[in-house]
A = this chain, B = another copy of it.
Amino acid sequence: MKPSLPKGTRDFTSEQVLKREHIFTTIKEVFATYGYAPIETPAMEALATLTGKYGEEGDKLLFKVLNNGDYLAKANAEALEAKDSDKLISSIAKRGLRYDLTVPFARFVVMHQNDLQFPFKRYQIQPVWRADRPQKGRYQEFYQCDADVIGSESLIYEAEFLQIFDTVFSKLNLKVNIRYNHRQILLGVAQYAGIEDKFVDMTVALDKKDKIGDQGVLQDLDYRGVDQEAAIKVLELVNETDPAVFEAKVSTTPAGAEGFDEIHQIQTYLSNYSPTNTFTLDPTLARGLSYYTGCIFEVESTETPMGSIAAGGRYADLTSLFGMPNMSGVGISFGAERIFDVMQTLERFPSELGNVLDALILPMDPESLGPAFDLASKLRAGGKQVDIYPKAAKMQKQMKYANARKVPFIIIIGEDERASGMYSLKNMLTGDKQETSLEELHSII
């Protein structure tokens, strides 16, 4: 049989794994300095845990795992008779694949609440699965990198997350714009325009402003039943170029005043911090997800167009889904797949990441295999990443292998080297050759 992969899934070669690990490790190390600790949850969750958490569309995109054994024996007979695929599911599939890391996190907090210290800070870097139609840059299996703190209303955490974005991207050598806003400021805009009842519609329309422009927003608001006068008032307000004027107007509303109070507090925490990147208060930033209730964030590259590469916000009530109300929290997520694409496009991966080997040892004759093995043992004991060409093949063949594996150094052992006890070292980049002792090898390669 000719093997293949399911659509939307990928193999990762060594180079890709090492580059991806570079991103994950950078993010992890920054999370750790802020006191976030890792947790992991299983790939398979109870389907009941996942169903209904991502809207009707999300339910369709969940991967369901078929029950094992004679699953049809307990199948819903009526649904089976009617060939009703949707209705049959719950009787033949008890498990589903994780769709994101947020719902499993909420479940984890509720299940482990007696063993956790609140505020609880965790990070989680694991794959998720979605049955989306695969397309360029969109996969059915991909990684999410999340950090959340839950159990505190302190705005210190919003300030920390702004620092975390700044630090991670500066360590990854990427320039970004870190935009933030507050759902209460958005609500203030709606109150100012007298359309508080159309708040969700307004945020959805504003969220698309970058893509569809002012006219598009007006059309969308009209379609959503917002009257034109109010829609124009919204647009004029968010297009106000003087931040002080914008703030003064929005702060006349109860929600707007509250939102700006919090934003000022966050800005005060950061007043002695010098960011490498830009923090931008953007009153049009809305974030689609309806569970955000406070400050919201979105990060974009300023060097190449890619859309949002990290985002997050404050939520009031994530764990109430599982019967644990009033746990305010803040969470962010790094879009590792997009960050990978940005770094690949801008060639920002450290060049040494591809080097799996420090040196390759080439035995010139069968008698040199033993000495090659001994040399490799000694270099490896010193932590060097070394390999041996496994037989005394022709020099040309061995060199071809060395080139293909992109080794920075080759070490040749043949009759002369066995006699002298020295090793012929060749720098594959410069072409320089030299006779070296074991000690010299340790320090050069």
Binding site for B on A (CB under 8 A): 1-6, 9-14, 16-18, 21, 32-35, 37-46, 48-49, 60-61, 63-66, 68-73, 75, 80, 83-85, 88-89, 92-95, 97, 107-108, 110-112, 115, 117, 119, 121-122, 127, 129, 131, 140-141, 152, 154, 156-157, 159, 163, 167, 268-269, 271-273, 321-323, 356-357, 360, 369-370, 373-374, 377, 380, 383-388, 390-391, 401, 404-405
Which interface residue of A3, A37, A373 has the most chain B CB atoms within 10 A?
A3
Let me know if B5 and A45 touch, CB within 8 A.
yes
- In the assembled complex, the Cα of A352 lies from the Cα of B82 at a distance in Å of 60
Q: Which listed residue, B10, B60, B269, B391, touches A370 by the CB 8 Å rule?
A: B269
15 contacts between A and B (CB under 8 A): A1-B323, A3-B107, A6-B42, A6-B44, A6-B45, A14-B37, A14-B38, A21-B38, A35-B357, A35-B386, A64-B65, A121-B387, A154-B390, A156-B373, A269-B373
Q: Within the complex, what minimum Cβ distance (angstroms) separates A420 from chain B?
A: 18
Chain B residues lying within 8 Å of A33, measured Cβ to Cβ, are 380, 383-386
Chain B residues lying within 8 Å of A94, measured Cβ to Cβ, are 6
Chain B residues lying within 8 Å of A17, measured Cβ to Cβ, are 37-40
Say whether, besides A42-B10, A80-B80, A37 and B373 are in contact (CB < 8 Å): no
Chain B residues lying within 8 Å of A92, measured Cβ to Cβ, are 66
- In the assembled complex, the Cα of A439 lies from the Cα of B284 at a distance in Å of 43
Which interface residue of A68, A131, A386, A405 has the most chain B CB atoms within 10 A?
A68
Q: Within the complex, what minimum Cβ distance (angstroms) separates A166 from chain B?
A: 11
Let me know if A385 and B32 touch, CB within 8 A.
yes
Let me know if B44 and A129 touch, CB within 8 A.
yes
In the complex, the chain B residue whose C-beta lies closest to that of A37 is B14
